[in-house]
Each structure stands twice: as structure tokens, then as C-alpha cells.
């Protein structure tokens, strides 16, 4: 920590701010120092730290002093850190908080994250060495000639003013955004109230309301993201949108299902479909609601829910019970198998492999051996040999 | 009557979006405020990709894509941690996967995306431990007993039968059952060579080990 010098924190001419991060603590090697919480700024020339409470307390070290840096991942109760190894302080270094240090490195603790981005930027700056091509002069030295000092002061004040304006602009944008957000929410609230009163009317006039109007109401709820107060179904399930979606899915999933032995978990489907779409992604609820309609629309796929709650899409032609017979053969050949082993053998996901084995067990074909070493399935000899 | 109101609201939302759409994408703080306000008035902006919120603010795509990334990270690490991962590690891995130029993702963002994933039935869940959360991504049954032991283990990354007895005042049998269940699910590893007594370690809490992948 003896490589640091006191500074005003103002950027010099030719020096640009690269990135900054709040909530950073400095340590002198392995020892904690009083610089517990502050903003860490990276410029093209220096690493600057300013105490978040006392803005007068501001220190900096030139990037040219850095030998190399390393990352330290976060641990239990510890923040992620960057370790910065430094050259010994030069003899004409400006005065700083420490005269000497027994360490040749410091640690930057990122208590509010941001370490990944900061590390990347710091690496870039150290590699590019932009400070070499953008000389700034020793602006902080006491003995500079007064004329040059005056010019530099104007330059610094100008830069400071720009930073202040930018900060104010950002603040203004943010508060405007929050204000607009509040107004928007007021209107949204009105919509929620309106939907509740309509729902009540529907309940009362049960029969007076047409099928058409009910469907339209459901799609209004879907647009607003309001739960259906009448049926208490999840948001707008069974709408026109979900019907169309179901038909689309039947088309999209035919080939992938065939490639995967006729069965896929709903999470696999979610990833597959959304990765393919790129934009205008489906919400998990959209997917579930569409899949619930597959059977009633007589599409060649169906949704199946196992006892464990795991949800899958199967081809209509897929018969899980038949697959169980094949699974039994596989298990018998090997004597016994865990879900992991079976999955690897057959080329299935572990999730679905486990479900198949559990189904086989439910049908009486397999027995389980449940120990701390895992869940293992054996052919049910009680059945075959008794 | 409702369709007219809906049309009016839609144009308000459009106006809002044209000014502040970027803010939603760039600022986790703004997203948080937005989500909280929606929850207060009883609106779920993430319910459907076809909803106004998703369509006009693009807030849906952000969270649904995050959902895909969360699923992929959890799947990749399942063999090592049994389907349990700390929110911190999940965040680190997701950020890594998103690459240099992607937007920042906060822990609140992750939690909201995960809550939506629950409906897919593959066992996504959130367990509060210590000051943070464990994310479950397999359909293993974790009841109150299991959760409480996980919370106890969070301090050091491991737990022993004696510790459970001392802190929770349980009988040996109850403690052993819980620990065995965690072992079976692959969420805990047994160190039977520990000096005093066997230690049950949770790989989900080994952030240091994972940091070097």
C-alpha cells in the first residue's frame, strides 16, 4: 500500500475514465487497512480509490506500477478479489497514506460484485499501456510553474464540469424514468380494477355472456398479465394464442422428438424452442398452457406428467410402457443399473432415464436398492421367479 | 368497454417504452423497481411472451433467455453438485456464459427467472440459506428438515451429526436420515476420514473449486 499517493481524484488532461465500481475494499497484501468501502476508478493512467463517505480521502496508483494481476474467486462469506502485484515505489513518488509496506501486492475486494468486468478492463489497460501515448505531466507535483498550473487548472475544471453535467443528466434521466414508471403503474392499476369488475359481472350473469366474449376477456387478461379471477386458471390459459402456439409446437418438435427417442422433458423443449426463436421468446407459462391443449387439439404430440411432477412431451406414437420392457432387458443384461448408468448406456438425459426406471418399478418389473451409494435398480426376481 | 381501455393503456405503454425501454435492459435497479410495482398492483409482466409488457418493453425476452441460460448452467454442473448451487455461483457462471458485451444480470433477475421456471416441472426451487439462496434444479424432495440442515452447513461448507444435534437438538437417527438423503441425491459428499467424526460436505458451497473451470 505504500505505492499509493494522495490525489484529488480529478482526471488530468488526456486521462480518460474507463470503468468504476462501488463497494470496493483495499487490503495491503493480506492485512486489512482503513480503506474499507469506496469507489474504485480505473482510468487510462491510474487506479484511483475514493472513500464512499469522505470524498476528500482519495488515493491513486499509476498503472505503470502494476507488474501483473490475478483473480481470486469468491468464497464462503468472501467477496471476489483482484490481486494487484506492484513494482516497488519510485523514489520521487508523491506522498501517500503509507510510508512503507511489507507486501508487494494489494487486494481489491469487490463487495458489491463487478469484479469480472473490472478485471477485464484493467487487463486491457495494462496491455494497451495507453498512458505511454497520452502524456499528462505530473499534475499533482507541488513545484510546477504557475503559468502551466493555471492552464492545467482550467483543463481539469473543464473536465470536472463535464463529468458533473453527465452525472446530473443521468440522474435526471433516472428520476424521469421512475416518475413515468409510477404514472404508468397507476394506469395499469386501473386496468386491474376494471378486469375485476368485469369478472364479477361475468360470474353474476353466468349464461348471459357469450363464448366469444369470454375468450376475448381471457386474451385481455393475457395482454395485461393479470390472473384470471373467474376460473383462477393461470394467466390467460386456453386462449387463441395458445391454440396457435400448440399447433406451431407440433410442427417444430416432430423431428427433435424423433431424434431423442420420442420423448423430451419440458425444460429441454423450453430451451430448444427459445434458442431457435432468438427473439419474441415464449414464457414458461406460455409453453405449459400450449402443451396442455395438445391432446384436445388432436395433435401428434402430448403432454405427460409423471408422479414426480416431471413434465414431458411425447410423440403420440411413443409408448413409454413399451420402452419399459426394453429398459428391463437392458437392466437384466447388466445385472443392475443406476439412473446415471442407464442414461449413459441408452443416450438419454438422466432426468428421463430416472423416470423410465421409476415407471418400470411402478409396473413391477424392477426393484430398487436404495443406499448411500445411490439408487440402483434390479430386475424384480420376486415377480419372475416366484 | 374493456377493449377501449386496453387500447388506451397500450398507447401509454408504447409511449413509456419509446422513452425508457433501454433503461429496463440496462439497469438492474430499474428492473427491480418495475417488478416490485407490478407485483403490488397484481400484474405479472412475465406471464406471457404475448403480453403487452413483454412485447413492448422487451422485458420478457430478457428473463426468458436468462431462464434458458440458468437451465444450461445447472445441467452442466449437476453431476458435481447434485443439482444444488449457490445463487452467487449461478450468477458468476451465467455472466461468464453471456460473454463480454451482454448486459449485467443481478441476483434479483436470476431469482425472478427461476420462479418462472418452476412451472416446467423439473424441480426448480429456491432455498434460503445464510444471507443468500441455494438454487435447486432437480426434482428431489427437499423438506423442512433438509432445508434446515443445508442452512446449518452453509457456514463452513460442511456439517456433522454432532453439530446437528447441538444446534437443532435432533436425535441421531433423524440427523442421519437427512444426511443420507442428501448423500443419495448427490448433493452431499462424505468425508469419513475427518479427524473427529465424518463430515458431510456440500459441493454447492465450494465456490473456490468451481472458480477455476
- pLDDT tens track for B185-202: 889 999 888 888 999 999
Higher local confidence (pLDDT), A142 or B85: B85
Binned at pLDDT 50, 70 and 90, residue B65 comes out as very high
The strand order across the sheet containing A311-315 reads A263-265, A311-315, A301-305
B26 touches chain A (CB under 8 A): no
Can you give the pLDDT at residue A228?
A: 67
Question: What are φ and ψ of residue A18, in 5° steps?
Answer: -100, -50
Higher local confidence (pLDDT), B126 or A167: B126
Whole-model pTM: value is: 0.66
**What does the alpha-carbon distance between residue A246 and residue A253 come to, in Å, rounded to a whole number?**
10
Task: Say whether B49 and A236 touch across the interface (CB within 8 A).
Answer: no
**What does the alpha-carbon distance between residue B109 and residue B89 come to, in Å, rounded to a whole number?**
14
The predicted model gives A16-26 an average pLDDT of: 87
The CATH code that applies to domain B1-137 is: 1.10.10.10
Any idea which of A187-191, A211-215, A370-374, B30-34 has the lowest mean pLDDT?
A211-215
List B85's β-bridge partners, or say none: B135
Residue A7 · residue A156 · CB < 8 Å: no
Binned at pLDDT 50, 70 and 90, residue A209 comes out as low
Can you give the pLDDT at residue A235?
A: 44
**What does the alpha-carbon distance between residue B86 and residue B66 come to, in Å, rounded to a whole number?**
16
Handedness of CA A44, A47, A52, A54 (dihedral sign): negative
B14 touches chain A (CB under 8 A): no
Can you give the pLDDT at residue A250?
A: 92
Average pLDDT score, chain B: 87
Can you give the pLDDT at residue A148?
A: 45
CA distance A308 to chain B (A): 7
- Hey, what's the cell of A201? 359481472
The predicted model gives A236-250 an average pLDDT of: 81
CA distance A173 to chain B (A): 9
Please name the residues in contact with A132: beta carbons below 8 A apart, sequence gap of 6 or more. none
State pLDDT tens for residues A47-74. Answer: 999 888 888 888 899 888 888 888 888 8
Can you give the pLDDT at residue A234?
A: 45
Can you give the pLDDT at residue A154?
A: 55
Please name the residues in contact with A100: beta carbons below 8 A apart, sequence gap of 6 or more. A2
Task: Say whether A283 and B61 touch across the interface (CB within 8 A).
Answer: no
Can you give the pLDDT at residue B39?
A: 84
What are the CA-CA distances from residue A365 to residues A308, A328, A352, A361, B58 (Å)? 19, 7, 17, 5, 50
Average pLDDT score, chain A: 82
Please name the residues in contact with A101: beta carbons below 8 A apart, sequence gap of 6 or more. A1, A2, A3, A28, A29
B144 touches chain A (CB under 8 A): no
Please name the residues in contact with B65: beta carbons below 8 A apart, sequence gap of 6 or more. A274, A281
Inform me whether the pLDDT recorded for B70 exceeds 90: yes
Give the percent of chain B with pLDDT over 90: 38
Can you give the pLDDT at residue B212?
A: 37
DSSP-assigned letters across all residues of A159-217: HHHHHHHHHHHHHHHHHHHHHHHHHHHHHHHHHHHHHHHHHHHHHHTTTTS-HHHHHHH
Place of cell 412475465: B46
Q: Is B62 helix (H, G, I), strand (E, B) or coil?
A: helix
Can you give the pLDDT at residue A99?
A: 81
Residue A133 · residue A16 · CB < 8 Å: no
Can you give the pLDDT at residue A291?
A: 93
CA distance A44 to chain B (A): 19
State pLDDT tens for residues B146-169. Answer: 989 998 888 888 999 999 999 999
Residue A116 · residue B98 · CB < 8 Å: no
Go through the domains of chain A in sequence order and give each one's CATH number.
5-131 (2.30.29.30), 238-309 (1.10.10.10), 320-379 (1.10.10.10)
| Gyration radius from chain B CA atoms | 21
Inform me whether the pLDDT recorded for A149 exceeds 90: no
- Selected residue of A181, A224, A350 to mutate for chain B interface (largest B Cβ count, 10 A): A224
DSSP letter at B177 equals: H
Give the percent of chain A with pLDDT over 70: 88
Binned at pLDDT 50, 70 and 90, residue A284 comes out as very high
Cα A372 from chain centroid?
Answer: 34
Place of cell 448423500: B183
Helix (H) or strand (E) holding A338: strand A337-338
B211 touches chain A (CB under 8 A): yes
Strands (E), B20-141: 84-86, 124-129, 132-137
Using an 8 Å CB-CB cutoff, list chain B residues near A280: 49, 55, 61
Place of cell 360470474: A203
What are the CA-CA distances from residue B83 to residues A227, A319, A338, B112, B156 (Å)? 31, 29, 17, 19, 19
Question: What are φ and ψ of residue A256, in 5° steps?
Answer: -55, -40
- Hey, what's the cell of A202? 361475468
In chain B, CATH 1.10.10.10 sits at: 1-137, 140-205
Task: Say whether B64 and A265 touch across the interface (CB within 8 A).
Answer: no
The predicted model gives A1-22 an average pLDDT of: 83
If you count residue pairs, one on A and one on B, with CB atoms under 8 Å apart, how many are there? Answer: 203
- Hey, what's the cell of A98? 503509507
Which of B51, B68, B92 is facing A271, going by the closest CB pair?
A: B68
What are the CA-CA distances from residue A314 to residues A61, A295, B76, B188 (Å)? 62, 11, 24, 33
Please name the residues in contact with B208: beta carbons below 8 A apart, sequence gap of 6 or more. A73, A75
What are the CA-CA distances from residue A265 to residues A341, B125, B129 (Å)? 19, 17, 29
The predicted model gives A113-127 an average pLDDT of: 86
Please name the residues in contact with B200: beta carbons below 8 A apart, sequence gap of 6 or more. B153, B158, B159, B160, B179, B182, B183, B188, B189, B190, B191
Q: Which of B25, B8, B28 is nearest to B17 (CA)?
A: B25
Inform me whether the pLDDT recorded for A171 exceeds 80: no
Inform me whether the pLDDT recorded for B88 exceeds 80: yes
DSSP-assigned letters across all residues of A28-72: ETTEE-S--SEEEEEESSEEEEEESS-TT-EEEEEGGGEEEEEEE
Inform me whether the pLDDT recorded for A385 exceeds 80: no
Using an 8 Å CB-CB cutoff, list chain A residues near B40: 185
Which of A184, A216, A220 is facing B13, going by the closest CB pair?
A: A184
- At the second CATH level, the architecture of B140-205 is Orthogonal Bundle (1.10)
Place of cell 473456490: B208
Task: Say whether B65 and A234 touch across the interface (CB within 8 A).
Answer: no
Can you give the pLDDT at residue B25?
A: 82
Any idea which of A21-25, A151-155, A221-225, B131-135 has the lowest mean pLDDT?
A151-155
The predicted model gives A328-340 an average pLDDT of: 91
Find the closest chain B residue to A120 by CA distance: B100
Can you give the pLDDT at residue A229?
A: 58
Any idea which of A51-60, A139-148, A356-365 has the lowest mean pLDDT?
A139-148
Interface of B with A in 66-105 (CB under 8 A): 67-68, 71-72, 78, 88, 91-92, 95-96, 100, 104
Can you give the pLDDT at residue A138?
A: 44
Place of cell 457462471: B93
Interface of A with B in 209-228 (CB under 8 A): 216-217, 220, 222-227
A137 touches chain B (CB under 8 A): no
Place of cell 481524484: A9
Binned at pLDDT 50, 70 and 90, residue A140 comes out as very low
Amino acid at each position: 500500500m505504500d505505492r499509493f499517493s494522495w490525489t484529488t481524484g480529478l482526471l488530468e488532461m488526456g486521462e480518460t475514465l474507463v470503468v468504476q465500481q462501488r463497494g470496493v475494499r483495499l487490503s495491503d497484501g493480506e492485512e486489512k487497512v482503513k480503506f474499507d468501502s469506496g469507489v474504485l476508478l480505473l482510468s487510462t493512467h491510474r487506479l484511483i480509490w475514493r472513500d464512499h463517505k469522505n470524498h476528500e480521502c482519495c488515493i491513486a496508483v499509476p498503472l505503470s506500477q502494476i507488474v501483473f494481476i490475478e483473480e481470486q474467486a469468491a468464497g464462503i462469506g468472501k467477496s471476489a478479489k483482484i490481486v494487484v502485484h506492484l513494482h516497488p515505489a519510485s523514489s520521487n513518488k508523491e506522498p501517500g497514506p503509507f510510508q512503507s509496506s511489507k507486501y508487494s501486492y494489494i487486494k481489491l475486494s469487490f463487495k458489491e460484485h463487478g469484479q469480472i468486468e473490472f478485471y477485464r478492463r484493467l487487463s486491457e489497460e495494462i496491455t494497451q499501456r495507453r498512458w505511454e501515448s497520452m502524456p499528462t505531466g505530473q499534475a499533482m507535483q507541488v513545484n510546477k510553474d504557475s503559468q502551466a498550473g493555471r492552464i492545467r487548472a482550467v483543463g481539469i475544471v473543464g473536465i470536472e464540469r463535464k463529468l458533473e453535467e453527465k452525472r446530473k443528466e443521468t440522474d435526471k434521466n433516472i428520476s424521469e424514468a421512475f416518475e413515468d414508471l409510477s404514472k404508468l403503474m397507476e394506469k395499469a392499476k386501473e386496468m386491474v380494477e376494471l378486469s375485476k369488475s368485469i369478472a364479477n359481472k361475468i360470474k353474476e350473469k353466468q349464461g348471459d355472456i357469450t363464448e366469444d366474449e369470454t375468450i376475448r376477456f381471457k386474451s385481455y387478461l393475457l395482454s395485461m398479465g393479470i390472473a384470471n379471477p373467474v376460473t383462477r386458471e393461470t394467466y390467460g390459459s386456453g386462449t387463441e394464442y395458445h391454440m396457435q402456439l400448440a399447433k406451431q409446437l407440433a410442427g417444430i418438435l416432430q423431428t427433435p422428438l424423433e431424434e431423442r427417442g420420442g420423448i423430451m422433458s419440458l425444460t429441454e423443449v423450453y430451451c430448444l424452442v427459445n434458442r431457435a426463436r432468438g427473439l419474441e421468446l415464449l414464457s414458461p407459462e406460455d409453453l405449459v398452457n400450449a402443451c396442455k391443449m395438445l391432446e384436445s387439439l388432436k395433435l401428434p404430440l402430448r403432454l405427460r406428467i409423471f408422479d414426480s411432477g416431471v413434465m414431458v412431451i411425447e410423440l403420440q406414437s411413443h409408448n413409454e410402457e413399451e420402452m419399459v420392457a426394453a429398459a428391463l432387458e437392458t437392466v437384466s443384461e447388466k445385472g443392475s443399473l443406476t439412473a446415471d448408468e442407464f442414461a449413459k448406456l441408452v443416450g438419454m438425459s438422466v432426468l428421463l432415464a430416472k423416470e423410465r426406471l421409476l415407471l418400470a418399478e411402478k409396473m413391477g418389473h424392477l426393484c430398487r436398492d436404495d443406499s448411500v451409494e445411490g439408487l440402483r435398480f434390479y430386475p424384480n426376481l420376486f415377480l419372475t421367479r416366484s | 368497454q374493456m377493449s377501449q381501455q386496453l387500447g388506451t393503456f397500450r398507447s401509454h405503454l408504447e409511449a413509456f417504452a419509446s422513452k425508457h425501454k433501454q433503461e429496463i435492459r440496462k439497469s438492474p435497479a430499474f428492473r427491480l423497481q418495475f417488478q416490485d410495482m407490478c407485483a403490488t398492483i397484481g400484474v405479472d409482466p412475465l406471464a406471457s411472451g404475448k403480453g403487452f409488457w413483454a412485447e413492448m418493453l422487451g422485458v420478457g425476452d430478457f428473463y426468458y433467455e436468462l431462464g434458458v441460460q440458468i437451465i444450461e448452467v445447472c445441467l452442466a454442473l449437476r453431476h458435481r453438485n447434485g443439482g444444488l448451487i449457490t445463487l452467487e455461483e449461478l450468477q458468476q457462471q451465467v455472466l461468464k456464459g453471456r460473454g463480454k458485451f451482454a448486459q449485467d444480470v443481478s441476483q434479483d433477475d436470476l431469482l425472478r427467472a427461476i420462479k418462472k421456471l418452476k412451472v416446467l416441472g423439473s424441480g426448480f426451487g429456491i432455498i434460503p440459506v445464510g444471507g443468500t439462496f441455494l438454487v435447486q434444479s432437480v426434482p428431489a424432495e427437499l423438506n423442512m428438515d433438509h432445508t434446515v440442515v443445508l442452512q446449518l452447513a452453509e457456514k463452513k461448507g460442511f456439517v456433522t451429526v454432532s453439530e446437528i444435534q447441538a444446534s437443532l437438538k435432533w436425535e441421531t437417527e433423524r440427523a442421519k436420515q437427512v444426511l443420507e438423503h442428501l448423500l443419495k441425491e448427490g448433493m452431499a459428499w462424505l468425508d469419513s476420514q475427518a479427524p473427529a467424526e465424518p463430515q458431510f460436505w456440500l459441493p454447492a458451497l465450494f465456490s473456490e473449486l468451481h472458480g477455476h473451470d
